[in-house]
Amino acid sequence: MADNPFPLSKDELLDAYRRMRTIREFEERLHIDFARGDIPGFVHLYAGEEAAAVGIMKHLWDGDHIASTHRGHGHCIAKGVDVVAMMKEIYGKKGGACEGKGGSMHIADLSKGMMGANGILGAGAPLVCGAALAAKYRAKQKGGPSDVAISFVGDGASNQGTFLESLNLAAVWNLPAIFVVENNGYAESTSRDYGTAVDSYVDRAAGFGLPGVTVDGTDFFAVHEAAGEIIRRAREGGGPSLLECKMVRFHGHFEGDAQTYRAKGELEDIRANRDCLRAFVAAVTGANVVSDAELQAIDRDVLGLIERAVTEAKAAPLPDPADLTTDVYVRY
């Protein structure tokens, strides 16, 4: 094997690949099982966007917090949430990440710093300011680099008042908060450009007094590098930033979306030419750092994991009727 030209060790590269592949296979499996009628409710798939979640999350530890969106499976997996518990949750089963009470749109695991997928656009940004404030207090007490908090938001949801207010609050309080705009070009069926007047989120960030960076969100290494810089600055007390990841979504807005709003051939084109996983594989195998066989071994592992997750989710018991009224309050 050749010298490693990448800023990650071989083990780290393989780990990044495993996380991205897990997200991809998780989502592609859900796509099939949803169409088959196995899965209830609204399901928004992250396939195509994996490099953003993983490129950022590779820099995080459990004490760091993230707040996700309705399209949250990828953030969960990248942050280390248990895949079997996620699948059980999506099937509405006992033992799911939220005991079946939350579903796809609300998967959370606070032990991993994952503050939840969210059904309300923009809702994660203020919460992340809160997590960043708490991190700042913690850092003051214990010294050393601060934990950070990251809010993911779609291009569409970046027009919510909650999001815009949070940019300002984070800036005036100099919080270790990071705002990641996942720009996949669409909000539901509407193109990004219809709903957002400025072309550049860097300009928007500047208007709020935050440094901003735009990267190709399908390029794992570009995301990883930009996020690393921003996260390091936040950890050292340098305050909040905005990171725009330009990306593509491989499926409809939600499962069942006919996607007639796309241009002819668009889906085929992005799958053929903007597949972040394929680009990653080409880069690491092209540099002779990782072999095809090593990646294929991971693929087999991942497929086995997803298969086990689905089998266990299907076999898991339903919540008990008594669960309906538990966990509304700590005490009442």
Partner 1 sequence: MARKISMKMAINEAIDQEMTRDPTVIMMGEDIVGGAGGQGEQDAWGGVLGVTKGLYAKHPDQLLDTPLSESAYIGTAIGAAASGMRPIAELMFIDFMGVCFDQIFNQAAKFRYMFGGKAETPVVIRAMVGAGFRAAAQHSQMLTPIFTHIPGLKVVCPSTPYDTKGLLIQSIRDNDPVIFCEHKNLYGFEGDVPEKSYTVPLGEANVTREGKDVTLVAYGLMAHRALEAAGLLAKDGIEAEVIDLRTLSPLDLDTVLESVEKTGRLVCVDEANPRCNIATDVSARVAMEAFGALKAQIEMVAPPHVPVPFSPALEDLYIPSGAQIADAARRTFARGKT
69, 267, 43, 128 alpha-carbon torsion, rounded to 10°: -10
Q: For residue 160, what are its two tokens? A: 């919510």
Q: Should residue 81 be labelled a site residue for partner 1 when binding is judged by CB under 8 A?
A: no
Q: Restricting to residues 148-207, name those near partner 1 by CB under 8 A.
A: 156-157, 159-162, 186-196
Q: Should residue 155 be labelled a site residue for ligand TPP when binding is judged by CB under 6 A?
A: yes
Residues in contact with partner 1, total (CB under 8 A)?
49
Q: Which is nearest to 248 in space by CA: 286, 178, 191?
A: 191
With contacts defined by CB under 6 A, name the span among 152-160, 232-240, 272-280, 282-290 that binds ligand TPP: 152-160
Shortest distance, CB of residue 265 to partner 1, whole angstroms?
10
Residue 302 main-chain phi, psi, to 5 deg: -65, -45
Residues in contact with Mg ion, total (CB under 5 A)?
5
Residue number of the CB closest to ligand TPP reads 154
Q: For residue 332, what are its two tokens? A: 């009442």
The residues with which 243 forms a beta bridge, in sequence order, are 180, 213
Residues in contact with ligand TPP, total (CB under 6 A)?
16
Q: Which is nearest to 102 in space by CA: 281, 264, 277, 319?
A: 319
Q: Should residue 157 be labelled a site residue for ligand TPP when binding is judged by CB under 6 A?
A: yes
Exposure on the CB side of residue 196, measured as CA atoms within 13 A:
24
Residues 96, 100, 103, 156: which binds ligand TPP (CB under 6 A)? 156
Residues 128, 171, 187, 298: which binds ligand TPP (CB under 6 A)? 187
- 40 vs 209, beta carbon nearer partner 1: 40
With contacts defined by CB under 6 A, name the span among 6-14, 67-75, 167-175, 263-271 that binds ligand TPP: 67-75
Q: How far, in Å, CA of 44 to CA of 72, rounded?
A: 8
Q: Restricting to residues 265-304, name those near ligand TPP by CB under 6 A.
A: none
Q: Restricting to residues 270-309, name those near partner 1 by CB under 8 A.
A: none
Q: Should residue 121 be labelled a site residue for ligand TPP when binding is judged by CB under 6 A?
A: yes
Q: Which is nearest to 55 in space by CA: 13, 105, 113, 91?
A: 13
Q: Should residue 250 be labelled a site residue for ligand TPP when binding is judged by CB under 6 A?
A: no
Q: Restricting to residues 197-256, name those near partner 1 by CB under 8 A.
A: none
Q: Should residue 316 be labelled a site residue for partner 1 when binding is judged by CB under 8 A?
A: no
Residues 32, 35, 120, 282: which binds ligand TPP (CB under 6 A)? 120
Question: How many distinct helices (H) and strands (E) make up the chain?
Answer: 12, 7
Q: Restricting to residues 156-215, name those near Mg ion by CB under 5 A.
A: 184, 186-187
Q: How far, in Å, CA of 316 to CA of 84, rounded?
A: 11
With contacts defined by CB under 6 A, name the span among 82-90, 127-135, 153-161, 313-321 that binds ligand TPP: 153-161
Q: Which is nearest to 184 in space by CA: 71, 80, 106?
A: 71
- 80 vs 195, beta carbon nearer partner 1: 195
Query: What, of ligand TPP, partner 1, Mg ion, none, does residue 190 touch, CB below 5 to 8 Å by kind?
Result: partner 1
The SS3 of residue 281 is helix
What are the DSSP calls for 44-84, one per residue? ---TT-HHHHHHHHTT--TTSEEE--SS-HHHHHHTT--HH
Q: How far, in Å, CA of 191 to CA of 157, rounded?
A: 12
Q: How far, in Å, CA of 116 to CA of 105, rounded?
A: 8
Contact predicate 67/116, CB 8 Å: yes
Burial of 329 (0-12, 13-18, 19+ CB in 10 A): exposed
User: Can you give the binding site for ligand TPP, defined by CB under 6 A?
Assistant: 69-71, 119-121, 154-157, 182, 184, 186-188, 253
User: Can you give the binding site for Mg ion, defined by CB under 5 A?
Assistant: 154-155, 184, 186-187
User: Can you give the binding site for partner 1, defined by CB under 8 A?
Assistant: 40-42, 89, 92-93, 98, 100-103, 105-106, 118-122, 156-157, 159-162, 186-196, 259-264, 266, 318-319, 321, 323-325, 328
